């Protein structure tokens, strides 16, 4: 930067101001500086800048998996919204492990992010301490935790699943199966299971037709295994709800291979409204949860909090049922 200044015949400070674009600089001074920047191929060193200004320009975000279009959409929502500011996203994924989350939080805090966006409300106690000490806005997403760290942008997975069950009961189904993954790891899956149970008991139905695949995350292929297991144990099941559209799709395809017709022989529903749910034939009945909007709103709330415009609000995001051919 000093080099640039030398060539342009100004001090480093003026170069700094010119490159920030926030202060008034004489037009010809600015031109000389930009010419020098071009000539040298100079690129600002933001790590030095952050040290001095005490603003890193980072927002950290941690999702369970990027290999899942719901969370990828959330990450996109965050990035796109952050693009309006000069903030940069520092993204990490936990593979659904709170221990890994703790490590990630620590390693990200070393970069002094100005805010941090997490998925869900389950964290190790050390993670909570780290977050508290960091003194930065924390936003938990994809859930409405009972004891939020700070702000929240999400929806009740329990309620959403209850609504799905209600609508299927209304359709006339009564022998419900549930296909899920490792609930110890996937807390949102666990919440959905709770919603499933609750809704069923409200309707006076039983709910022990459950297949839990102990794999993290649950994939399309697991849906196939699971539906076989479910139908073997409970052959009279008339509808199987899957914890996400991915296993739901796998289940539907497996049914096809088994010679069963969905939904005539067995109805199948998913959760999340992944693209496949609308494209698959039959289409998959599911719950749309606005994955992109969760990210966009979380980033928006973060920006507000950083500008002292917002406080630790809880923003509830919308979801809606999508009835398609699979039920």
Partner DNA sequence: CTGTTAGCGCGTTCAC
Partner DNA sequence: GTGAACGCGCTAACAG
Q: Which listed option, a second copy, DNA, none, makes contact with residue 298 (CB within 5 to 8 Å by class)?
A: none
For 183-218, b/e burial (b = at least 16 CB within 10 A) is bebbbbbbbbbebbbbbbeeeeeebebbbbbeebbb
Q: Could you give the CA distance from residue 236 to residue 231 in angstroms, rounded to a whole number?
A: 7
How buried is residue 281: exposed, middle or buried, by Cβ count under 10 Å (0-12/13-18/19+)?
Answer: exposed
* Interacting residue with a second copy among 278, 288, 314, 316 (CB under 8 A): 278
Q: Could you give the CA distance from residue 268 to residue 227 in angstroms, rounded to a whole number?
A: 10
3-state secondary structure of 290: coil
C-beta separation of 303 from 115 below 8 A: no
Check binding of 125 to DNA (CB under 7 A): no
* Interacting residue with DNA among 6, 7, 34, 49 (CB under 7 A): 49
C-beta separation of 205 from 168 below 8 A: no
Task: Give the residue from 284, 300, 283 showing the smallest Cα distance to 292.
Answer: 300
Taking CB under 8 A as the rule, which mask of x and - marks residues 135-174 in contact with a second copy?
----------------------------------------
* Interacting residue with DNA among 41, 54, 135, 259 (CB under 7 A): 54
Name the β-bridge partners of 287. 321
* Interacting residue with DNA among 40, 48, 261, 279 (CB under 7 A): 48
* Interacting residue with a second copy among 29, 171, 182, 221 (CB under 8 A): 221
Q: Could you give the CA distance from residue 128 to residue 146 in angstroms, rounded to a whole number?
A: 14
Taking CB under 8 A as the rule, which mask of x and - marks residues 49-78 in contact with a second copy?
-xx----x---------xx-x--xx-xx--
CB of 73 to a second copy, least distance (A): 6
Check binding of 273 to a second copy (CB under 8 A): no
What residues make contact with DNA under the rule CB under 7 A? 1-2, 5, 9-14, 16-17, 19-20, 23-26, 29-30, 44-45, 48-49, 51-55
What residues make contact with a second copy under the rule CB under 8 A? 41, 43-48, 50-51, 56, 66-67, 69, 72-73, 75-76, 79, 88-93, 106-107, 109-112, 129-130, 132-134, 219-221, 224, 249-250, 253, 256-257, 275-276, 278-281
């Amino acid at each position: 930067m000093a080099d640039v200044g030398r060539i342009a015949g100004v001090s480093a400070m003026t170069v700094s101001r010119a490159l920030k674009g926030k202060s008034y600089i004489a037009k010809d001074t600015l031109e000389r500086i930009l010419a020098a920047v071009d000539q040298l191929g100079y690129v600002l060193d933001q790590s030095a800048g952050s040290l001095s200004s005490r603003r890193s320009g980072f927002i950290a975000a941690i999702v369970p998996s990027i290999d899942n279009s719901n969370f990828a959409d959330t990450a996109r929502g965050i990035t796109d919204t952050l693009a309006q500011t000069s903030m940069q996203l520092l993204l990490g994924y936990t593979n659904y492990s709170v221990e890994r989350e703790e490590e990630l939080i620590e390693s990200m805090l070393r970069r002094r992010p100005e805010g941090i966006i997490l998925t869900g409300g389950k964290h190790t106690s050390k993670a909570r301490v780290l977050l508290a000490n960091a003194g930065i806005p924390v936003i938990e997403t994809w859930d409405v935790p009972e004891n939020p760290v700070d702000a929240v942008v999400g929806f009740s997975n329990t309620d959403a699943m209850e609504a799905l069950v209600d609508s299927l009961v209304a359709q006339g189904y009564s022998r419900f199966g549930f296909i899920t993954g490792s609930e110890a790891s996937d807390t949102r899956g666990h919440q959905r299971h709770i919603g499933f149970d609750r809704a069923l008991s409200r309707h006076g139905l039983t709910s022990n037709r459950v297949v839990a695949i102990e794999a993290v995350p649950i994939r399309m292929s697991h849906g196939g295994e699971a539906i076989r297991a479910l139908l073997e144990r409970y052959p009279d099941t008339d509808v199987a709800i899957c914890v996400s559209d991915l296993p739901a799709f796998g289940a539907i395809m497996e049914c096809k291979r088994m010679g069963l017709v969905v939904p005539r022989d067995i109805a199948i529903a998913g959760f999340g409204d992944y693209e496949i749910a609308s494209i698959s034939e039959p289409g998959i009945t599911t719950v749309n949860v606005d994955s992109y909007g969760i990210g966009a709103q979380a980033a928006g709330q973060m920006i507000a909090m950083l500008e002292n415009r917002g406080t630790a609000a809880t923003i509830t995001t919308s979801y809606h049922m999508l009835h398609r051919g699979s039920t």
